[in-house]
Structure 1
């Protein structure tokens, strides 16, 4: 019995778009009819049913296991030379990724060092400026003489205090 995507979706109680996505993602075997519609046989429908059941109970973990099983089956059908080539390609890819990672880490460290050097230079300039100001202030206060004694003044004039009312009213 061959069913179209819409009919399979109705039977499984899911959207036709989901059925199409699963067929593409998990490479479920199906054929096309004369009009270009996907047609599913009983084996494909059973596989879709098990995937639906496993996705409802265990989330996406079961789907990943199904995907891993298909990858294992594919790797078993391939020859050992092809698997060796794939392993070599993967190791080269890992090595390139590690090199890029180390390069990026070196760039980050060098950037941080430059920033810290700039901060140290700025702080050094500020310390030098403060030292100069401190030297200037110490230099000005040292040569000044002691103020004259009170008795050395001529006659200190006492300021008359105005009465509070006079100061307020300007009298």
Structure 2
């Protein structure tokens, strides 16, 4: 797409660097003091604020003020400076023309495909942002569910461990009660005399059995 405009010859100033780097300029005389320029940007090339200001014969701050006050969606480079495409230059040319006609900046109405595209792109960007936020919410919900599952599993595991410990404690208490009962029984058992205990350690001699005769057994 090309930009085709009429400018008075005495206000048009094109620097050599402007025509050599960013776009092709083909002037031809149409009237006595009027010249028509056909500007065609090279593919993939953009103009900076200085180039646009030179093209429109205004200051750089004026171009920047137009962009900000009219809320124009312009591309920026990696340094944060404006990069104007062919459509952007056409849009600013419309602004310049209406200002030259005596309108105030607040009264300027811009009908441009670029502006509509900017709105569409903004809507698409908002839609993508909403989708991204939705996916983030879903991921957070899944993470929270996983965290709840992990906590529930840990609580169940801790509960089982506590029940096992409780069983062990109960078993130990039962054994201790049994031992205490045995000790109490031993304390209440009557003690034997010391000599009796000593006799248990000594060997008791067997009594010699007297032999009885057969007659003694019969008549005795």
Where on the TM-score scale, by shorter chain, does this alignment land: which range?
0.3 to 0.5
Give the TM-score, by structure 1 length.
0.44
Give the TM-score, by structure 2 length.
0.35
Structure that is richer in helix per residue: 1
Structure that is richer in strand per residue: 2
- Larger radius of gyration, structure 1 or 2? 2
